[in-house]
Chains A and B, each alone.
Chain A
Amino acid sequence: LRLERLISLRSPQAEVCLRARHSLYIYEAGPPSPVLAVETTDGVGDEKLAEWARRVEALSFERVGERLSVDVVAVRHVARRAERLAEAVEVLSSTTKKPMILCSFDTQALRLALTSLDGHRPLLYAATGENWRKMANLATRYDVPLAVSEPDHERMRALIRSLGRLGVREFVLDFGLGSGSEDWLAAVLRSLMEARKASLNGVEEFRYPFMALVKEITEKQTVSHMTNALAASALMLRYADLIILRETQNWALLPLLVLKQELRSDPHKPPKVRPGLRRIGSPGVDSPVLITSNYRQTYYIVKSDLEDLRLDCYLLVVDTGGLSVRSAVAGGQLNPDVIAEALRGSGVEGLVKRRLLILPGYASHLKDAVERLTGWRVLVGPKDSMKIGEFLAKNLPEPRQTPEGGT
């Protein structure tokens, strides 16, 4: 059974694809690509809406050369006037570049919004047992994908079949329960697992991407931010391909965005990079030599930090068996002998006069032994390469051979 076509949501500037998973194990059929949406309502004024959208647009974190951000914005129709959704959507489309999800059971409000959205391909949320005929009509007329919301699996299958007969081809399935009961998370997760298992076992109607809404839990706000982020993490792991949450706190979104990045990464790419010497910028005879591990994640983070700082230096990537600095120090793979050996083997001794080695902070206790073995001057750098700029500014008082003359 072929699981899905990609379901594409578009704005004039961006495209986001929803993709159903092909296995119950996370990476068995290639990395999953969950999509994250945040939700607002049309129940607030234009000003507030624009402010919210600008905040969402600004929410982005640079990580290993990638920009992490929320993929989609969802707007829920709660206003009394049907036209309000179209107005809200217009405000949003002029303040954010992200594709949209239009959330309402009111087909009149949705129709007005769809008419006003030029160059967009939003997701409609959602068809139910009540409104499915009208929703099918909208989805086919405007050629947009349709979310279907129904907790009961048999009824969901029947709905998909009926909608299919009316010509709808692109579905996103929501098994969420209407009420925010105590065990909503367990119930939704179970439902997603069962449905994904069913689709892999041949249930045609479930071959589409799944979605989940993270419900508000009413309690102390900071706790609620945290539990919502954890619930979203769980749903991202099993098996929501689209998650809508109301969260816009940076600190609570950050782990979700990073988890999304982790899930999209391919674990079959070996965690090691080639050990050896790398030039960062244009190093000269006075440039320091920085030590790091050959763990892929560490290497790319350190490299991008150094490049961001526009430093000129040598980066000596030591073979730690693909372990991070911290693990390799704990496990003994990063030790004075290995460092001395790597230094000799790299040929950097012929490239610099200054002989200044900077150890990662986690390897601080190796300093004396490395000095003894190599005869180089050894400084213990910060634990995190994010702080290397400050560190060098403070600890390398002599003029350095960089165009900036010291960061």
Chain B
Amino acid sequence: MENVVVCEVVLGGERRRRVRVGGVCAPPPFHVYPKYRLNPPAVAMDVFDPPRLPRPVKMFYGDVVLDVAEWAKVCVKKYGADLVALHLIGTHPQLGGKSPGEAAKTVEEVLQAVDAPLIIGGSGDKSRDPEVLAAAAEVADGEGCLLNSASLEMNYELVVEAAKKHGHAVVSWVPLSLPLQRKLNRELLRLGLPIDRIVMDPTTAPLGYGLHYSLDIVERIRREAFNGDAALRAPILSGSSNAWGAREARLDKPGWGPLELRGPLWEAVNALAMFMAGADVLLMMHPKAVGLFRRMVKQLMSSGKTEVDASDISGVG
């Protein structure tokens, strides 16, 4: 393998399956080929506590979503999820307001249920998330989780401290901005989190709702990393399940065709596009979309007859 520019982040640990993400040696478009990456893209399947799902996903899963640990197990055992993305949305004051301690219990249950590493997410409540993630980090000590996320408008110091103390990595989340991504990463590095414990999420806008912004930012982040910006040498995570935010994935309208096919295809297109732009970890929701995405990645990464050569491309255009 040539020079690894995008770091490899290792999730999991001694008691848990290890999953390596990132480890990329060429900028887009060449990063998709096995020759230029240490690891295939990782699929993290979303589970929510409590379940809040678009109708087509809920219908597909059925009642299993009522028990988040069981749900996680299904994602790993039945659908082959590399990672489980647990979203502790019940900690939001308006969604039940679970305490950090209660949320930590949920984390423990999911850790018990699956051997895949976890991505642990809060509720988006800036004031509560740091404590929720810190409590989760503590019960998951040594399990090599990915804390989702640190953002500029919260007490990210607390998240970083918890990650360092208990051996986790951190998602560095910014709203569609390269300068902010650089700024937050530098902050995390300044606090002593090594670059190989950072995964960036510059926000995935759904297909039809600004995906072009996300494709562009991911490519530009990669370009900067390969041009030598050390603060951007982290793998990239894409919340491709955001695709369900699009009405075309979720709603019925005459002329749009069957929802049970349209929805998963919508999510799969979203994930495939983000992978081709440079994402290394895909958060996904519908098992059918996961299957389709995997199948396409396998095709893309299959050994074709033509040799790909990523040399002489910096500074092109």
Do the two chains bind? yes
Is the C-beta of A43 less than 8 angstroms from some C-beta in chain B? no
Could you tell me if B313 and A197 are in contact, using CB atoms closer than 8 angstroms? yes
Is the C-beta of B51 less than 8 angstroms from some C-beta in chain A? no
Could you tell me if A226 and B316 are in contact, using CB atoms closer than 8 angstroms? no
Could you tell me if A267 and B216 are in contact, using CB atoms closer than 8 angstroms? yes
CA distance A146 to B51 in the complex (A): 55
CA distance A330 to B201 in the complex (A): 14
Is the C-beta of A240 less than 8 angstroms from some C-beta in chain B? no
List B residues 146-185 near A (Cβ within 8 Å). 151, 153, 175-176
Which chain A residues lie closer than 8 Å to B197 at the CB level?
none
Could you tell me if B276 and A251 are in contact, using CB atoms closer than 8 angstroms? no
Could you tell me if B277 and A26 are in contact, using CB atoms closer than 8 angstroms? yes
Is the C-beta of A354 less than 8 angstroms from some C-beta in chain B? no
Could you tell me if A252 and B265 are in contact, using CB atoms closer than 8 angstroms? yes
Q: Which of B29, B124, B212, B269 contacts A332 (CB 8 A)?
A: B124
CA distance A330 to B241 in the complex (A): 14
Q: Which of A186, A201, A301, A384 contacts B304 (CB 8 A)?
A: A186
Is the C-beta of A238 less than 8 angstroms from some C-beta in chain B? yes
Could you tell me if B302 and A324 are in contact, using CB atoms closer than 8 angstroms? no
CA distance A296 to B208 in the complex (A): 12
Which chain B residues lie closer than 8 Å to A263 at the CB level?
212
List B residues 299-315 near A (Cβ within 8 Å). 299-306, 308-309, 312-313
A208-244: CB near B (< 8 Å → 1, else 0) gives: 0000000000000010011101110110011100000
Range of interface residues on chain B? Answer: 35 or more
The distance from the CB of B289 to the nearest CB of chain A, in whole angstroms, is 10
From A188-196, A345-353, A395-403, give the one contacting chain B.
Answer: A188-196
Could you tell me if B92 and A365 are in contact, using CB atoms closer than 8 angstroms? yes
Which chain A residues lie closer than 8 Å to B292 at the CB level?
226-227, 230
The distance from the CB of A304 to the nearest CB of chain B, in whole angstroms, is 12
The distance from the CB of A324 to the nearest CB of chain B, in whole angstroms, is 6
Is the C-beta of B62 less than 8 angstroms from some C-beta in chain A? no
Could you tell me if A254 and B248 are in contact, using CB atoms closer than 8 angstroms? yes
Which chain B residues lie closer than 8 Å to A322 at the CB level?
175-176
Could you tell me if A183 and B299 are in contact, using CB atoms closer than 8 angstroms? yes
The distance from the CB of B286 to the nearest CB of chain A, in whole angstroms, is 12
CA distance A326 to B276 in the complex (A): 25
A21-32: CB near B (< 8 Å → 1, else 0) gives: 011111111010
The distance from the CB of A137 to the nearest CB of chain B, in whole angstroms, is 32
Could you tell me if A25 and B223 are in contact, using CB atoms closer than 8 angstroms? yes
Range of interface residues on chain A? Answer: 35 or more
Could you tell me if A365 and B212 are in contact, using CB atoms closer than 8 angstroms? no
The distance from the CB of B34 to the nearest CB of chain A, in whole angstroms, is 11
Could you tell me if A295 and B262 are in contact, using CB atoms closer than 8 angstroms? no
Which chain B residues lie closer than 8 Å to A186 at the CB level?
299-304
CB-CB nearest in chain B for A296: B210
Could you tell me if A190 and B306 are in contact, using CB atoms closer than 8 angstroms? yes
Could you tell me if A271 and B213 are in contact, using CB atoms closer than 8 angstroms? yes
Which chain A residues lie closer than 8 Å to B303 at the CB level?
183, 186
Which chain B residues lie closer than 8 Å to A162 at the CB level?
none
Residues of B that sit less than 8 Å from A by CB: 28-30, 33, 92, 94-95, 123-126, 151, 153, 175-176, 203, 205, 207-213, 215-217, 219-220, 223, 242, 245-248, 250-251, 253, 255-258, 261-262, 264-266, 268-269, 272-273, 276-277, 292, 295-296, 299-306, 308-309, 312-313, 316-317
Residues of A that sit less than 8 Å from B by CB: 22-29, 31, 61, 63, 182-183, 185-187, 189-191, 193-194, 197, 200-201, 222, 225-227, 229-231, 233-234, 237-239, 249-252, 254-256, 258-259, 261-263, 265-268, 271, 295-298, 301, 321-324, 326-327, 329-333, 365-366, 384, 386-387
